[in-house]
Amino acid sequence: MKKILFLCTGNYYRSRFAEEYFNHVASEKGLNWEANSRGLSLNIPNPDNPGPISVHVLSALTDRSIKGKNLARFPIAVTKNDLRKYDKIIALSEQEHRPMLESCFNGYVNTITFFEVGDLPLEKPGSAIKKLATLIETLVLQVSA
């Protein structure tokens, strides 16, 4: 099984949707890939985030009739070990996450692919989720080729 890791700031919203949506689409296509997600912030779990996962993620999954598998787990911070063990790593905002990676994990920055999906309030949830879904569908096509 090949593994992909999605990174965002708090592992509460964007990366959690990416993980669940990727796993759903990959499973439907019978791919030998599995996604996980982690956060780059030093403040994980963030006390400002109620519960284990964003309501925007839960709503987006429900709208797509997807039953997530890791919805009850709380956000997890990324470690160097995480960056070593995944076949592919995607940070969800180059503008936001490259400086964080350079600060804490500089030796790994060149091994990471970047999307550009803004966090709240920079990008509204509906727009961000739609953009993520499109990026993940394209990614699934790439890894299945």
Per-residue pLDDT, 34: 97
pLDDT at 121: 83
Three-class SS of the chain: CEEEEEEECCCCCHHHHHHHHHHHHHHHCCCCEEEEEEECCCCCCCCCCCCCCCHHHHHHHHHCCCCCCCCCCCCCECCHHHHHHCCEEEECEHHHHHHHHHHHCHHHHHHCEECECCCCCCCCHHHHHHHHHHHHHHHHHHHHC
Q: What is the mean pLDDT of residues 68-76?
A: 95
CATH of the domain at 26: 3.40.50.2300
| The pLDDT of residue 25 | 97
- Evaluate whether 33 touches 3 at the Cβ level (below 8 Å): yes
pLDDT at 42: 86
pLDDT tens readout for residues 85-114: 999 999 999 999 999 999 999 999 999 999
Residue range of the domain that includes 18? 2-144
Average pLDDT, the chain: 95
How would you label 42-52 residue by residue, b for 16+ Cβ within 10 Å and e otherwise?
A: eebbeeebeee
Specify the number of domains making up the chain. 1
Alpha-carbon distance 140 to 145, whole Å? 9
Q: What global pTM score does this model have?
A: 0.96
pLDDT of residue 58: 97
Cα distance between residue 129 and residue 101, in whole Å: 23
pLDDT digits (tens, 9 = 90+) for 8-39: 999 999 999 999 999 999 999 999 999 999 99
